Amino acid sequence: MSRRNNLIKYSASRLALVPLMLWIISSLVFLLLRVAPGDPVDAILGNRATENARAALRERLGLDLPIWKQYCQYLNGILHGNLGETLINQESVSKIIGRSLPASIELGVCALLIALLIGGLVGFSSIARPQSKLDLSARVYGIATYALPPFWAAMLIQLVFAVSLGWLPVGGRFPPSLPPPSGSGFLILDSILNMNWIALQAAIIHLILPASTLGILLSGIFSRSLRINLERSLEADHIEAARSRGLPERQVILKHALPNALLPVLTIAGITVASLIGGALLIEITFSWPGLAMRLQEAIGQRDYPLVQGIVVVVSTLVVLVTIAVDLIVAAIDPRVRY
Amino acid sequence: MPVNIIFNLLRWSLKLTSLLLLICQVSCRPLRTDNLLIVASASKITSLDPAQASTFGALQLLTALGDPLYRIDSNGLLEPRLASELPKLSDQGLTITIPLRKDVYFHDGTRFNADAMKFSLERFMEIGTLNYIFGERIKSIESPKPFLLVLKLRKQSTSLNSLLTSINLTPVSPKAYRDNKDSFLNKRFVGTGPYMLTSFQTQQKKLEVFPLYWDKKPNNKGINFIHLSNSTALFGAIKTGEVDVLISNSIEEDQRLALNKLSLKGKLNEGKGPALEIGYITLLSNSIPLKDNIIRQAISLSLDRDLISQRVSYSQRKPLRSLVPPILKNDKQAYWPKYNPIQAKKLFQESGYCEGKKLTIPLTFRSNVPTDKLLALTWKAQIEKDLSTCFSLDLNGVESTTVYKQLGQGAFEAVILDWRGAYSDPEAYLSPFLSCEKFTGNVCESGEAAISGSFWTTNGLQKSLEHSDQLTGQARLEKLNQIEKTAANGAAYIPLWLVTPKAWSKPSVSKPEFDGNGQVMLNQLSELSQ
């Protein structure tokens, strides 16, 4: 069978598993939420409401139905693209996710770019002078940023740059006294499309601290990975052969060593993108960033089942799709990958 | 050489970062294009429907967007707002007649009248999340004249007057809420207050002045009410001047203290409201060992409120030895005993402890409330110092939603909680702890005492509570004092401290002022430079 056919078969098998994975994840979320102590009725009414008031609300929210009926309704809703309404204020879950997801993606993408830039520079500079002070510093940086507790680092950065120096806003996504640009919800993109430069400036200055914090914290893993893989690549036989052919060092590194070293970095980037969509919780909370992770945290506290379920399903779908996409890209460009 | 490229890239990156930071220093100050005051709070507002609102932030905004029938003024007296006179009682206290103002308009231009008030109250009784407080007292609502409201009661209730000050009962426009008579309207509000809601976003609500407002116009052009999710962000925002006013009870104690110090230096204005929130400990009194009243008394005596307040809140939370905030009963009499480790030890010995036998009680605190954890740790350490041979605490952090769910199931032997009455009346602080529908001996089987997690009651207590709601003036106060004294003897609850609401403003903005319900009067805020 040709390599192309193998790749198509591999892709199809990976994609075929997506519905199964999503069904397992969504069912687990549904069950775990019901098993967890706490009740949305308590969250709404408090624990002092009369039994009549509680029963009425329970009925209104559909929580009086047997669990299996609730589960069937939930699955039926997902299959029809309907994630339901929040229990707390009966708002469409899809709309809430639609509003919060752009904030998370905007933060995640910017953080990833910063992480790749810093990680790349640190990783390269480390391999450029092996065993030097620069290399040692780069390695310490890699370990330190990876090991730093995100909430501590975020709070420290916030205290220094926002509270003490006052250079950047302490939190939020956009100044309250400016009307946000209309459009997709991606404020930077919308500002550019509307040619609203004041809004663009405002959106960027609000993004700098959270994105830089997240980017710096993630850059360690990229610099370490790049350094290790580049070092291994430079010791490979084909690099020795390229050097013996008299190719310039620049060409040896950029053309022959780097592509091989970047493949594992690509995999790490893929996993990071996936985790960033829903995983930047501490950064979002510290900087009051109205993204999906913060919504999820609030919804868990309120035991708002449909909202938690909806966010988890959407994030899981994105994680699964991004992971598969990265696997397929790696499989397509790396001939060593076996299917 | 690639090494050169890398170093060039590094050099350029550093230059670019420096330039960016330099630009930030010059231009990253908050952008202001409107003249609205920015007020920040940690409270998340998901609904501005008065039938649904229960969070601090939502009630704060509703106070600016709507008017109640009455309000408690800064002297603690009932003041008519949408009512034109104080309520008139007749029919042996079972009928309340409330004349209404004739010059009030809703934000949609329609007129406020008795029918609109009736519509709003009935809507609240139908779908309001706190409707049980109001509904169990009211038999019917009538509007015999365009500006006259009549409430028929099921039983006589003195505390109803205070209940009528609740902002949850603020009227809404029947026209605007026609399609939401039995459902919530979360992101709009059409009421009668000095401000209109012009924008409702997840993190920001915009309030602008209502031109047809019947009373004095606000001192500012409007309010941008924003949500910041953590204490450091709130602290930083007011300190750097990013926001004009900060309202928050959830700000951490060391930051409250820092803000207090800044206000003493004149760098901020600090406003204080009436202390209406209490912190307390509930003891489970329906099972061994806390079923023993002597042990509960001993635990009550073991609490060094002054030390705990000093260590946890830098003495900003005032020690409290009553369930009812002193401001609501016009006296400072306290019925719970003062800290007395010698007496506590005697009582523990009386119950068979201390002589080689130590009582260990699990103390639960809400893990998502930082002050609770500090309190628990401090008390534990204080007991280890004072009563190490008799008594100790096992700390146990549980998320608050779980605590509230399991409280009424008797899951916690001792648990730290806080309480703020739904309206400013002693009844809102006694009934929710002591009321009991069904009991055997001293164990409450159903009712508020069971829901509160203490399960404690005593013979005649429920009757005293009901009786107090039929009394007025000094007789009522005496009855309430007697109830508190009984509760202190039962020692199923240990009041701990009183939380004073505070708000801070920039020096260029006037000092925040609070109303009698502990809400900042946003309409009083003004820019001093104007």
Which of A42, A172, A302 lies at the smallest CB-CB distance from B405?
A42
Tokens representing A37 are: 């102590």
Between residues A311 and A35, the one the model is more confident about: A311
Residue B15, in any domain of the structure: no
Quote the CA–CA distance of B366 and B281 in Å, as a whole number.
12
Length of chain B: 530
Look at phi and psi of residue A172 and say left if phi exceeds 0, alpha if psi is from -120 to 50, else beta.
left
Residues B429 and B309 in one domain: yes
Partners of B78 in beta bridges: B72
DSSP per position, A24-66: HHHHHHHHHHHHSS--HHHHHH-TTS-HHHHHHHHHHHTTTS-
Tokens 């209104």 label which residue?
A: A60
Helix axes of B293-301 and B473-490: crossing angle, nearest 10 degrees: 100
- Number of domains, chain B: 3
Residues B170 and B232 in one domain: no
- CA neighbor of B250 nearest in space, from B43, B520, B404, B512: B43
Write down the pLDDT at residue B11: 67
In single-letter form, the type of residue at position B387 comes to L
Q: How far is B388 from chain A (nearest CA, A)?
A: 34
B179-210 pLDDT, tens digit per residue, is 888 888 888 999 999 999 999 988 889 999 99
- Contact between chains at A286 and B232 (C-beta distance less than 8 A): yes
Residues B218 and B267 in one domain: yes
Quote the CA–CA distance of A274 and B81 in Å, as a whole number.
55
Order of strands, sheet of B391-398, starting from the edge strand that comes earlier in the sequence = B318-319, B493-499, B277-283, B414-420, B359-366, B391-398
Single out the residue in B119, B154, B180 at which a domain terminates: B180
To the nearest whole number, what is the mean pLDDT of chain A?
Answer: 83
Asked if A135 is an interface residue toward chain B (Cβ–Cβ < 8 A), one would say no
Quote the CA–CA distance of A274 and A260 in Å, as a whole number.
23
Q: Is B343 exposed, middle or buried (0-12, 13-18, 19+ CB in 10 A)?
A: middle
CB B254 within 8 A of CB B68: no
To the nearest whole number, what is the mean pLDDT of chain B?
Answer: 87
B371-423 pLDDT, tens digit per residue, is 899 999 999 999 999 888 999 999 999 988 888 878 888 889 999 999 988 88
DSSP per position, B186-239: -S----SSSEEEEEE-SSEEEEEE-TT-SSPPPSSSEEEEEE-SSHHHHHHHHH
SS3 A182: coil
Asked if B12 is an interface residue toward chain A (Cβ–Cβ < 8 A), one would say no
Which of A50, A91, A176 lies at the smallest CB-CB distance from B224?
A176
Between residues B18 and B409, the one the model is more confident about: B409
Quote the CA–CA distance of B121 and B116 in Å, as a whole number.
9
| CA pseudo-torsion sign A15, A16, A21, A26 | positive
Chain B residue nearest residue A53, CA to CA: B132
Tokens representing A190 are: 């919308």
- CA neighbor of B2 nearest in space, from A261, A228, A258: A258
Residues B100 and B209 in one domain: no
Residue B62, in any domain of the structure: no
Which of B21, B233, B408 lies at the smallest CB-CB distance from A47?
B408
Write down the pLDDT at residue B71: 87
DSSP per position, B261-303: HHHHTTSSEEEE----EEEEEEE--SSTTTTSHHHHHHHHHT-
- Contact between chains at B407 and A45 (C-beta distance less than 8 A): no
Residue B239, in any domain of the structure: yes
SS3 B28: coil
B 184-223 residues with CB < 8 A to A: 184, 186, 202-204
ipTM of the complex model: 0.73
* DSSP β-ladder status, B391-398 and B359-366: parallel
CB B213 within 8 A of CB B109: no
Which residues in A lie closer than 8 A to residue B404 (C-beta atoms)? 38, 42, 46-47
Q: Pick the range with the lowest mean pLDDT from A29-38, B74-83, B452-461.
A: A29-38
Q: Is the pLDDT of residue B1 over 50?
A: no
Residues B306 and B265 in one domain: no
Quote the CA–CA distance of A44 and A92 in Å, as a whole number.
17
Between residues A198 and B250, the one the model is more confident about: A198
Residues B35 and B89 in one domain: no
Residues B137 and B205 in one domain: no
CB B476 within 8 A of CB B468: yes
Residue B105, in any domain of the structure: yes
Write down the pLDDT at residue A49: 65
In single-letter form, the type of residue at position A137 comes to S
Quote the CA–CA distance of B98 and B169 in Å, as a whole number.
14
Quote the CA–CA distance of A339 and B95 in Å, as a whole number.
82
State the pLDDT confidence band at B302, using cuts at 50, 70 and 90: very high
Residues B266 and B284 in one domain: no
Q: Is the pLDDT of residue B2 over 80?
A: no
Number of neighbouring beta carbons within 10 Å of residue A5: 10
Residues B163 and B224 in one domain: no
Quote the CA–CA distance of B96 and A106 in Å, as a whole number.
57
CB A291 within 8 A of CB A107: yes
Between residues A135 and A53, the one the model is more confident about: A135
CB A167 within 8 A of CB B24: yes
State the pLDDT confidence band at B491, using cuts at 50, 70 and 90: very high
Write down the pLDDT at residue B33: 60
Write down the pLDDT at residue B143: 92
Q: How far is A284 from chain B (nearest CA, A)?
A: 9
B 343-382 residues with CB < 8 A to A: 368
Residues B266 and B329 in one domain: no
Which of A37, A47, A286 lies at the smallest CB-CB distance from B451?
A47
Residue B490: CATH number of its domain: 3.10.105.10
Q: Where are the domains of chain A?
A: 2-79, 94-301
Residue B473, in any domain of the structure: yes
SS3 B97: strand
Quote the CA–CA distance of B387 and A200 in Å, as a whole number.
62
Residues B439 and B400 in one domain: yes
Number of neighbouring beta carbons within 10 Å of residue A320: 19
Q: Is the pLDDT of residue B8 over 70?
A: no
Residue B140, in any domain of the structure: yes
A 64-123 residues with CB < 8 A to B: 88-91, 99-100, 117, 121
Domain that holds residue B174: 67-180
Residues B512 and B474 in one domain: no
Tokens 């998320």 label which residue?
A: B399
Quote the CA–CA distance of B127 and B189 in Å, as a whole number.
16
Question: What DSSP element (H or E) covers B226?
Answer: strand B222-227
Q: Is the pLDDT of residue B509 over 90?
A: yes
- Contact between chains at B44 and A46 (C-beta distance less than 8 A): no
Between residues B103 and A133, the one the model is more confident about: B103
The C-alpha torsion from B469 through B472 and B92 to B421, rounded to 10°, is -40
Residue B211: CATH number of its domain: 3.40.190.10
- CA neighbor of A221 nearest in space, from A267, A257, A254: A267
- Mean pLDDT, residues B267-278: 92
Please calculate the CA angle A170-A172-A177 and round it to the nearest 5 degrees.
100
B31-90 pLDDT, tens digit per residue, is 566 689 999 998 888 889 998 887 888 999 999 999 999 988 767 778 899 999 999 888
Phi, psi of B18 (to 5 degrees): -60, -45
A260-306 pLDDT, tens digit per residue, is 777 788 888 877 776 676 557 788 888 888 888 888 888 887 778 88
Phi, psi of B397 (to 5 degrees): -90, 130
Residue B350, in any domain of the structure: yes
Q: Is the pLDDT of residue B134 over 80?
A: no
Residue B199, in any domain of the structure: yes
Asked if A303 is an interface residue toward chain B (Cβ–Cβ < 8 A), one would say yes
Order of strands, sheet of B148-153, starting from the edge strand that comes earlier in the sequence = B88-90, B95-99, B148-153, B138-145
Tokens representing A250 are: 């620049």
Residue B136: CATH number of its domain: 3.90.76.10
CA atoms lying within 13 Å on the CB side of residue A280: 35
CB A223 within 8 A of CB A217: no
Q: Is the pLDDT of residue A225 over 60?
A: yes
What is the value of pTM for the model shown?
A: 0.81
Asked if B8 is an interface residue toward chain A (Cβ–Cβ < 8 A), one would say no
CB A228 within 8 A of CB A221: no
Q: Is the pLDDT of residue B23 over 60?
A: no
Please calculate the CA angle B283-B314-A283 and round it to the nearest 5 degrees.
85
Quote the CA–CA distance of A127 and A252 in Å, as a whole number.
14
Which CATH number applies to A94-301?
1.10.3720.10
